[in-house]
Structure 1
Amino acid sequence: MARDFWSAELRRVAERLRQSGQRVTRQRLAVFTALARLGGHRTAEEIYDVVRAQHPDVNLSTVYRNLDLGVELGLVTQTDLGGGVRRFELVRAERHHHLVCQQCGAVFELEDDLLEPLRAALRERYGFVARMDHFAIFGTCSACWSRSRAAGTRAPA
């Protein structure tokens, strides 16, 4: 089942590459395959380690170029979940975002439909059509907030 899912995802990636006039190369497929198999939000270096194991001739700059192309084509999302490190994820059918706790580093998924009122307000008030594909909102999780309140300290707002 999981193998069929990733095969379908990689066929979708290959089709999108072709539609945009890009070649479907061995290196490109290796990068997107590694990203799909790793799942989640991965650094270019993590992806590179997987690709290099099977394709020693592929270098880190090739991984970055293909990830950047994936972002440009809407196949891959790029997010900074803290620490200034770009993380990449293969785009899923449903958009999602993240809440990142600056105290403990926990990351929680945020459903896209919660952002629709913001999109509507931006369109109405500013005439701006926001592209909110994937991003992180930083703050304090409930567990850290509770701990700080119990300790009598103030958690950052």
Structure 2
Amino acid sequence: MIDQSTDHTDNTGATDFAARLRDRGYRLTAQRQLILRAVERLGHATPDEVLEAVHEEASAINVSTVYRTLEVLEELGLVRHTHLGDRAPTYHSTVEGEHFHLVCRNCGRVTSAHPEVADGLVKRLEAELGFVADIGHLAVFGRCVDCESDPIGHEHGHEHGEGH
């Protein structure tokens, strides 16, 4: 499982975040802090979900600000995105550490998997095809253990997010 106890916006992290922004010519704004905190709190979220979470604290922020800020945060290495289906890109904090995603086609549960799980595939891609994989953007679709064990195939009432 992934430890999510670290926070980029604590007393020491805020300084690091501000320094990263300044080094790239950006200012540390309250909006950027709110958006980063929302991504960290939500785990995996689309820009619309981030906007909804940010509106709990600041209703004046609009969706274009969220998209622009997510781009800046990704450029700074504070968030990453992946595509977990037909919806908008899903962003997650890099605080979680490198991982890839397992997405249940039945219930929609997203589970984070440690990169070591894919070592065999990654090494084989490099050895046989000369391809170095960036698995941080990888999403593997299938059925979670709960759905797979249900012979009738009912949808389970799982929350979308970290699971198993």
TM-score relative to the length of structure 1: 0.75
Task: Quote the Cα distance in structure 2 between the aligned partners of 1:115 and 1:139.
Answer: 15
CA RMSD between the two structures: 2.8
Query: CA 1:109–1:70 in 2, change beyond 3 Å: closer, same or farther?
Result: same
**Structure 1 unpaired stretches of 5+:** 152-157
Task: Quote the Cα distance in structure 2 between the aligned partners of 1:30 and 1:109.
Answer: 24
User: Which residues in structure 2 correspond to 1:48-67 (within 5 Å)?
Assistant: 48-67=51-70
Task: Quote the Cα distance in structure 1 between the aligned partners of 2:6 and 2:139.
Answer: 30
Q: Which has a greater percent of helix?
A: 1
Task: Quote the Cα distance in structure 2 between the aligned partners of 1:121 and 1:56.
Answer: 48
User: Which residues in structure 2 correspond to 1:1-157 (within 5 Å)?
Assistant: 5=7, 6-7=9-10, 8-36=12-40, 38-92=41-95, 94-148=97-151
Q: Give the Å deviation of 1:89.
A: 1.4
Aligned pair count? 148
Q: Which amino acid aligns with 2:130?
A: G
Comparing 104-113 with 45-54, which one deviates more in the overlay?
A: 45-54
Percent pairwise identity: 35
Cα contact 1:40–1:89 (8 A) shared by 2: yes
Structure with the bigger RCO (C-alpha within 8 Å, sep 6+) is: 2
TM-score relative to the length of structure 2: 0.72
